[in-house]
Amino acid sequence: GENEATPATPNVVETEIQIPLTPFNKGGNAAPTSIFIAGGDSTPPETTITSAPRSLASSTSAEFIFTSSESNSTFNYNLNDVGWQDCSSPYTLNNLTDGNHIFKVRARDTYGNIDQTPAEHSWIVDTIVPRITITAAPPDVASSTTADFQFASSESETAYQCQLDSNPWQTCSASTTAADLVEGNHSLEVKGTDLAGNIGTSTIITWLVDLTAPTSTVASLDAVYEATGFTVSWSGADADAAGATT
């Protein structure tokens, strides 16, 4: 027979509208059903980078984590503006060269809307280690219990670490003094770390602290008597040549 429909209150989920209906025929029999009205979504998703390498990094790999404001979105990335490619989060870039890089990522929702303002991150890859040079140091044999050092680095803003003899490594500066040295052999090793975290090969210098006064032996003795007295000549040497005197 002819049906009469009694509409119910619609439930709206995003842009798809579902309207439940309960039609009745003339005999009073109910035949529940529903109709769907499909809509469109023209709002693009927003993309956010939640994890990225620091602005100056020493690694040739970089991991990114990113999210979308809409669930079930897919992603594209663009490295250094060479073109868009598919990706997912997290995503790792490998074999990066030294220099500046820019990573862009955009989300695409299930309706095909693409984020027109991609999230992006810029950073610098630096894998070059600093080279340290000792520009001032004590002589090979010294008679002082202190020793002054000067260092230079191939990179600006280098952080130095020093190791005196077998003591633990300690932070030091480009101008460093070792004090309270005991007599004997000593060594100072220095290395540098740049802003990217690269640690250079250490440089070492050795020297001898000699605090013992020289001993003298008479190599020859010639005495000449004159009216004014004797004249005696002799010679001696410091075996370590540290410059110590009696």
Give the model confidence (pLDDT) of 84-112 as tens digits: 999 999 999 999 999 999 999 999 999 99
Q: What is the pLDDT of residues 1-34, one digit of tens each?
A: 444 444 444 443 455 555 565 665 666 666 666 5
Instruction: Indicate the pTM of the whole model.
Output: 0.67
Judged by average pLDDT, the poorest of 74-78, 142-146, 186-190, 218-222 is 218-222
pLDDT(62) > 70? yes
Q: What HEC string does 85-145 produce?
A: EEECCCEEECCCCCEEEEEEEEEECCCCCECCCCEEEEEEECCCCCCEEEEECCCCEECCC
Is the previous residue joined to 90 through a cis bond, with omega within 30 degrees of 0?
A: yes
How much is the pLDDT for 30? Answer: 63
